[in-house]
Amino acid sequence: MSQPQRLSNRSLAAASSGNVLEWFDFTVYGFLAPIIGKAFFPADDPVASTLSAFAALAAGYLARPLGSVIFGHVGDRIGRKTALIVSVVMMGVASLAIAVLPTYQTIGLAAPAILVLIRIIQGFAVSGEYTSSGVLVVELAPPGRQHTAGSTIAFAMMIGCMIGSGVPAGVSAVLTEAQMADWGWRIPFAFGALVALTSLVLRLGLMESLPDPDEDVKELPVITVFRDHWRAVCRILILLAPIMILYFVIFVYASSFLTAQMHDPSSTLLEFSTANLLVAALLVPPIGWIADKVGSRPVFFVGAVLMIVTAIPFWSMMQSENLDVVFWGQMGFSAINSAGWALSVSTLATMLPAAVRCSGVSVAYNTGAAVFGGCTPLILTYLFTRTGDDFLPAYYVLITAILSLVVIIGMPNREREISALKG
């Protein structure tokens, strides 16, 4: 693979900037789901409105596997840089469209229909973001530094999540509830469009890490992935499941659940989430550094075991009537989850050869995001209305963490991880 330049700080900023936007946007939507539900999916039952808003969130994620095929192909055949530029432009336009979209009260059923369409376009666009940027920085990283480099993408993701929590929290603190419901919810999405513009400017000067022509394949990369590397795709899906589910449980589902069922103030929960996302972000770089020293397998193993041991106790804390206990429960989950996110992109890159790396990582990651990420709030909200079991989220995390241990035990050691990036 050609690596004409070293991985510069500018390249890291350019590659990771779109991830700030991606996760900012989806975090904002998740936190504002109850307000968006009332604006675009009016119903007598607030739960029904929230379910509809979460369904629109899920629709965006369900579009990601298709987008991953297209953007994976662009990344493997045309270039990682091209995929990143197209992705961030589409995301920015879609975010701006939500900011100015009329509500149900103004244009009737056209409003929710257009909103769902925009979410699908966003889901399609972001399918090329996290994985393409991650593959690029990991491939350009010096030998033995891929986890540190990859952790910058996860760090950007967490910062995007933190801003996605902090902006609604700040807006809701300044505006009244009526103002927030009327027009205040539009401000975060308009802010997202500005983030996209900044990312685009940075990416126009980004260097490339496209495989050499002699490494290319004659057929569509995604066909090669499913025919020759389907086992790696399955391992990636299982490895990602618990960290994706836990993120959406503690930061998206919990926000709606605790407000509706525990009657905790939504503004307070947004402040908690903002603080704990910062904690998780700050933990990501040192975890990446540690993994470069000992390998990703020990780090993933410790994270999975802690997730299994603490799933029920920490979720119990998050349902406490004492808001301080809720905060510490969420912080515990955040710290544990940061281990998996820190290594997600770098470890996935080592599981596939360079010629089909963008396609394979993109398809696996985005399929996992659709099944275990975007659908989690919808699934849990529906199951809770059917069963009334408050601990369903903890059971969901627990089961998937146990399954992931099987994959973790079979992961390569540090030396094999480094050599895997050569092809």
Number of domains comprising the chain: 1
1 within some domain: no
Q: Would you state the structure tokens that stand for residue 304, as one six-digit string? A: 């999975």
Report pLDDT for 211.
Answer: 55
3 within some domain: no
pLDDT along the chain (423 residues), means of 10: 55 73 76 80 70 74 76 74 81 90 88 87 78 80 85 87 81 84 89 83 67 55 84 90 89 71 65 86 93 90 95 91 89 93 86 82 82 78 81 91 91 64 57
340 within some domain: yes
215 within some domain: no
4 within some domain: no
325 within some domain: yes
214 within some domain: no
Report pLDDT for 261.
Answer: 63
226 within some domain: yes
Q: Where does residue 388 fall: left (phi above 0), alpha (psi -120 to 50 degrees), or beta otherwise?
A: left
- 3-state SS of 76-106 is HHCCHHHHHHHHHHHHHHHHHHHHHCCCHHH
For residue 402, give the nearest of 285, 312, 283, 326 by alpha carbon: 312
Q: Helix, strand or coil for residue 398?
A: helix
Report pLDDT for 405.
Answer: 93
Q: What is the DSSP letter of 253?
A: I
Domain ranges, residue 172: 9-207+220-420
Angle between the N-to-C axes of helices 392-409 and 296-318, in degrees from 0 to 180, rounded to the nearest 10: 170
Report pLDDT for 8.
Answer: 65
Question: Which sign, positive or negative, has the C-alpha torsion 168, 169, 173, 176?
Answer: positive
Report pLDDT for 423.
Answer: 54
CATH of the domain at 332: 1.20.1250.20
Report pLDDT for 238.
Answer: 92
pTM of the predicted model, to two decimals?
0.76
Q: Where does residue 295 fall: left (phi above 0), alpha (psi -120 to 50 degrees), or beta otherwise?
A: left
Give CA–CA dist 291/414, Å, rounded.
8
Q: Answer for the pair 233, 366: CB distance below 8 angstroms, yes or no.
A: no
Give CA–CA dist 55/64, Å, rounded.
15
